[in-house]
Amino acid sequence: MKVNEYNYIKELRNRNEKALDYVIDNYSWIIKSIVGKHLYGIHSVQEECINDILLGVWNNINSFDESKSDFKNWVAGICKFKCIDYKRKYLKDLQHENIEDLNISEDGIERKALENELSNEIEVLLNCLKEKDRDLLYKLYVEEMDINEISSEYGMKKEVIYNRLSRAKKKIKYIFNTNRRGAKYE
């Protein structure tokens, strides 16, 4: 028997799995919307909650009364209560989670700090250059762009770019060496 909008509730009650497929095809947008709204940011439990909602529809279809409510509203009610249950469970698990069990990587924190420090050092080094030279060095060495890409982006010949890069590197080297000896630069 083909499941359609006129017989899907009857077929759900008769335990026809195709009726559940019909519900998924036609009402999943409601389920996903409500789950997304109530469990926003808790992606780890959203899929499980959706599965529980569909299981709830399957197991409780006999409690659905067409004279009291529309099927869409009934499904929305199941969604809302399942979301509340999942949110409570999630918050309860957070309260009881041992801090030593958390996977906090010190390497990740150190790496981020080093990246910030390196970024600041690069900025200080490149500030002594003209803006165009600074951009060329940044694109080549930080963004790791190909020289051909840089050439086409700036409309410059590769030889001109290499000359500008060479002069910029010499200037940075001079300033770095002068600074190491204690002299100040602008």
Residues of the chain with CATH 1.10.10.10: 106-180
Please report, for residues 9, 25, 28, 70, the alpha-carbon distance to residue 21 in angstroms, rounded to integers and kept in the order given: 12, 6, 10, 19
Residue pair 39/87 in contact (Cβ under 8 Å)? The answer is yes
Instruction: Indicate whether 115 pLDDT > 70.
Output: no
Return d(Cα 71, Cα 115) in angstroms, integer. Answer: 54
Query: What would be the CATH architecture of the domain defined by 8-100?
Result: Orthogonal Bundle (1.10)
Residues of the chain with CATH 1.10.1740.10: 8-100
Instruction: Indicate whether 52 pLDDT > 80.
Output: yes
Instruction: Indicate whether 186 pLDDT > 50.
Output: no
Instruction: Indicate whether 144 pLDDT > 90.
Output: no
Instruction: Indicate whether 117 pLDDT > 50.
Output: yes
Quote the tokens at residue 166: 């060479």
pLDDT digits (tens, 9 = 90+) for 7-47: 998 999 999 999 999 999 999 898 999 888 888 777 778 88
Higher pLDDT, 126 or 114: 126
Residues 6+ apart with CB under 8 A from 20: 12, 54, 57, 58
CATH number, domain 106-180: 1.10.10.10
Residue pair 185/179 in contact (Cβ under 8 Å)? The answer is yes
Return d(Cα 159, Cα 9) in angstroms, integer. Answer: 74
Continuous segment of H or E residues that includes residue 44 = helix 43-60
Predicted model pTM: 0.50
Return d(Cα 120, Cα 139) in angstroms, integer. Answer: 16
Instruction: Indicate whether 180 pLDDT > 60.
Output: no
In the prediction, which pLDDT does 185 show? Answer: 45
In the prediction, which pLDDT does 176 show? Answer: 67
